[in-house]
Structure 1
């Protein structure tokens, strides 16, 4: 029997297309994107997290609490935080991967980095800590050298010291800081999402940044403006209330607003970092 009815309305396939996999194959060379790409990252990052915004807020709160607890331990807490931050971040990126592929996001994604890729993620944390320590040694040596240069004929010249610090030292610090940022910007994503070895992740991250200097600069500036617009008003209100001994109610409200904004901004920024990684590195 023929079921085709000539008078029935036309039918079309309304099945949504499959979600793109963000665990796809790495490109041999990272893409070079336009300076306007970061605005797309910001939009797609928000789209990615807003469907599970409540759960992402809980994840952010848990991470904040862990950071506070580690910070209560002098010295060792700071070391532990530096070592483990890439592990927690790796878990967050794995959670974003799950959500991006249409899976069910779970609260314990925050700890997924301890179950998967723990050793390489911890290795990146150790490298970060070691590089920062080396950076401090270099800057300290430059500071001592500048101080000696400011001594003339046994007398100390503050103007010479200030000039050396404000020009030479600052320039060196900025250059080294940019190079370090380029080395580590995408390492956690590369390791957690695509199993890239630790040292290879450093070179790939550097290459990805080197091919997208304008895009990353625009991204950093856009994020800075957004955070300034969102966080500055409650921050100024808090300072005004504290300095003037103002209303306790206003102080509490401003602190709550600031805190809520931070726990929303944090997963959103991770979403943008995930999206930018896909855009630059994934086929």
Structure 2
């Protein structure tokens, strides 16, 4: 008797768990600490999200690049607008990654989803970024105050004159502040866009998440840098794949650290 006609054969059923719906993203009270090797899983787990929707991801990336290019054509105001709107576009793309992870279809209009949801807090993040960048520029500019002005107005400035004239203390402070700023904003957009966390609370939680995971984040940054370099080598066309991959991995890393 064949298995197909065996009345005593146990029934077969698909026991594969369904995709996790976006609504089940329950935030942990505190971010968890993960192993350094998790950086690899952030990339490996996010790659199918990109590969299975590659055409739409490329269109989204082209759209994002195009918007940034147009804004860059406007002197001064274009850079301000790009910084202000950056978290809004990023938030929308992350909502698209959440949709893919939940078994939904990725759509081109996910690029603009941040304007439909959470636009005010995401713009707030952009405004904070702009203000902090301005203050950071002042600090870096202050590093050159100690230069010998006679050298500037006299002989040709040599590289060693530039280094000798710098205020190394301010440079060190600037580097520390830059790391501090990166930690504040690293997960802030995810927290605001995906879990509706208030802006200043998101900054605090992002800092805690980074503080508890320095090794995986450093490892991830190195891997991301290698991917960007590889993408740029291929006449920048590789970036059309690398950029959405990094967006998707940002979503995966956020889920591993902040979501139950």
- The alignment's TM-score, normalised by the length of structure 2, stands at 0.89
Quote the offset at 1:169 in angstroms.
4.4
Q: How does 1:1-283 map to 2 (within 5 A)?
A: 7=7, 9-23=9-23, 24-144=25-145, 146-147=146-147, 161-163=162-164, 165=166, 167-232=168-233, 234=234, 258-283=235-260
Deviations 1:102-148 (Å, cap 9, x if unpaired)?
1122110100100100000000000000000011112212321x226
Please, which runs of 5 or more residues in structure 2 have no aligned partner? none
Q: For the pair shown, which has the larger CA radius of gyration, 1 or 2?
A: 1
Q: How many residues align?
A: 251
Quote the offset at 1:44 in angstroms.
1.0
2:236 match: secondary structure: helix
CA RMSD after TM alignment: 2.3
Quote the offset at 1:25 in angstroms.
1.2
Provide closer, same or farther for how the CA distance between residues 189 and 73 of structure 1 changes in structure 2, counting only shifts above 3 A.
Answer: same
Distance 1:42 1:164 in 2: 43
- The alignment's TM-score, normalised by the length of structure 1, stands at 0.82
**Partners of 1:22 and 1:282 within 8 A in 2:** no
Please, which runs of 5 or more residues in structure 1 have no aligned partner? 235-257
Provide closer, same or farther for how the CA distance between residues 70 and 47 of structure 1 changes in structure 2, counting only shifts above 3 A.
Answer: same
**Partners of 1:44 and 1:272 within 8 A in 2:** yes
Distance 1:224 1:58 in 2: 23
**Partners of 2:140 and 2:171 within 8 A in 1:** no
**Partners of 1:86 and 1:124 within 8 A in 2:** yes
